[in-house]
Chains A and B, each alone.
Chain A
Amino acid sequence: AQSVTQLDSHVSVSEGTPVLLRCNYSSSYSPSLFWYVQHPNKGLQLLLKYTSAATLVKGINGFEAEFKKSETSFHLTKPSAHMSDAAEYFCVALLTDSWGKLQFGAGTQVVVTP
Chain B
Amino acid sequence: KAGVTQTPRYLIKTRGQQVTLSCSPISGHRSVSWYQQTPGQGLQFLFEYFSETQRNKGNFPGRFSGRQFSNSRSEMNVSTLELGDSALYLCASSLEVLAGGLTNTGELFFGEGSRLTVL
> Could you tell me the distance between the alpha carbons of A15 and B111 in the complex, rounded to whole angstroms?
29
Size category of the A interface is 20 to 34
Q: Establish whether residues B56 and A45, one from each chain, have CB atoms under 8 Å apart when the complex forms.
A: no
Q: A43-B112, A44-B90, A106-B42 are in contact. Are A100 and B107 (CB under 8 A)?
A: no
What sequence of 0s and 1s flags, for each residue 77-113 of chain A, a beta carbon within 8 Å of any chain B beta carbon? 0000000000000100010011111101011000000
Q: Is A104 touching B94 in the complex (CB atoms < 8 A)?
A: no
Interface SS majority for chain B? strand
Q: Determine the distance from Cα of A51 to Cα of B92 in the docked complex, in whole angstroms.
A: 19
Given the complex, which residues of A lie within 8 Å of B108, measured CB to CB? 36, 44, 46, 99, 102
Partner pick for B113 among A43, A94, A102, CB 8 A cutoff: A43
CB distance from A40 to the nearest CB of B (A): 11
- In the assembled complex, the Cα of A104 lies from the Cα of B44 at a distance in Å of 8
- Near B by CB (< 8 A), chain A positions 12-53 give 32, 34, 36, 41-46, 49, 51
Q: Which residues of B contact A98 (CB under 8 A)?
A: 55-56
Take A43-B113, A49-B107, A104-B42 as given contacts and tell me if A99 and B102 are in contact as well, using a CB distance cutoff of 8 Å.
no
Give min CB distance, B110 to chain A, whole Å: 3
Q: Which B73-106 residues have C-beta < 8 A from chain A?
A: 90, 92, 94, 102, 104, 106
Q: A100 to B45, alpha carbons, bound, how many Å?
A: 7
B contact residues vs A (CB 8 Å cutoff)? 4, 31, 33, 42-45, 47-48, 55-58, 90, 92, 94, 102, 104, 106-113, 115
Known: A36-B110, A99-B33, A99-B94. 7 other contacts (CB 8 A): A41-B113, A44-B92, A46-B107, A51-B106, A100-B33, A102-B108, A107-B42
